[in-house]
Amino acid sequence: MDQPTPPTLIPIETLRLLLRPFVMEDLEDLLAFRCLPEVARFLYTAPLDHDGVRDLLEGWVSNTDFAADNDRLVFAMEQKDSGRVIGEVLLILRSARHRQGEIGFVLHPDFHGRGLAFEASLPLLKLGFEQFELHRIFGRCDARN
């Protein structure tokens, strides 16, 4: 897959959000929800401490590749009216050969139930289908979440 790096459609503005690459200055906002047991419960990691969030963030900031299986682009969900990062939305290239991706998101519990994950997902799907020419994008959900 020949893919532009970094994506040229970022940042993406929605009605209430700015979707943009993470920067190291987002550490405290990210820590505010990645340290919570109720957030980590449905992720593949335990709740993260300051060092764990810093390591995670450093990986996201330094990686903009989207050409090989399991490459991922992770974007900050910044609330436009406050400038606060309230979540993350990601696109994972699950199969370069079959042009299949996966979408996911993590949102601070204080912002659940407002349609923000849906709002962030639509432009990310557009990015996957139009810019990266994916054939299929799927999401997974734990029914308990």
pLDDT in tens, 15-25: 999 999 999 99
Q: 45: pLDDT confidence band, cut at 50, 70 and 90?
A: confident
SS3 call for 19 = strand
Residue 6 has a pLDDT of: 47
Residue 3 has a pLDDT of: 45
* Cβ neighbours of 15 (radius 10 Å): 8
